[in-house]
Amino acid sequence: MRLSMLVGLCLLSTAPLAGQPSPEAMKAEIANPWGVEFTRTTGEWSRIFGHPSREACEAAIPQVLAKQSGYNGHCVYHDLSTARILGTQDPAWIAENERMWGWSVEFIGPEGKWARRGGLASKATCEAIIHELPKDQGGDGHCVHGEWKDGDLRFIGSQDPALR
């Protein structure tokens, strides 16, 4: 593995801990959105991103599993525009995102892009707070429900063309 890819993987693996990633790390994430998701010998799921295409990711599975002492490897795609990991089989990640997204207010944010504020327990809670929110935080939005289907978080009722 080339040094630049190793550095990129290190940057990707520490980015959430360090806050907002640097512009260089973001460029690496955008250019290499494919990763190998696998189970560690401890039973925990893990992902190592850093591949530019599904083909490159699939070719790397045996090497990643050997280096990480992992099994059950498959490729997943990190959709940076929605922060979703498409194709994940990690039950903990799915459960956390179901809890986090449950019911959400979907709206057009201040940059003119679709956004969601999630973590609401019910549709009634969502509908009750919409009109209390400032416009740029969902005040003129609508409620959507996050559900997992085939390893992908889908927003039922979404009007965002990117999520249809």
Q: What are the tens digits of pLDDT across the range 111-136? A: 888 888 877 878 898 888 888 887 77
Domain that holds residue 35: 3-80
> Which pLDDT does position 10 carry in this prediction?
41
Same-domain pairing of 71 and 100: no
Other CB atoms within 10 Å distance of the CB of residue 150: 7
Token pair for 125:
């809670």
**89 found inside a domain:** no
Domain end point (choices 29, 52, 80): 80
**87 found inside a domain:** no
Domain count of the fold of the chain = 2
**Average pLDDT of every residue of the chain:** 80
- What whole-number distance in Å separates Cα of residue 80 and Cα of residue 20? 13
Domain end point (choices 80, 113, 146): 80
Token pair for 110:
């201040």
Q: Of residues 146 and 50, which shows the higher confidence score?
A: 50
Same-domain pairing of 101 and 65: no
- What whole-number distance in Å separates Cα of residue 39 and Cα of residue 70? 5
**45 found inside a domain:** yes
20-26 mean pLDDT: 76
Same-domain pairing of 75 and 109: no
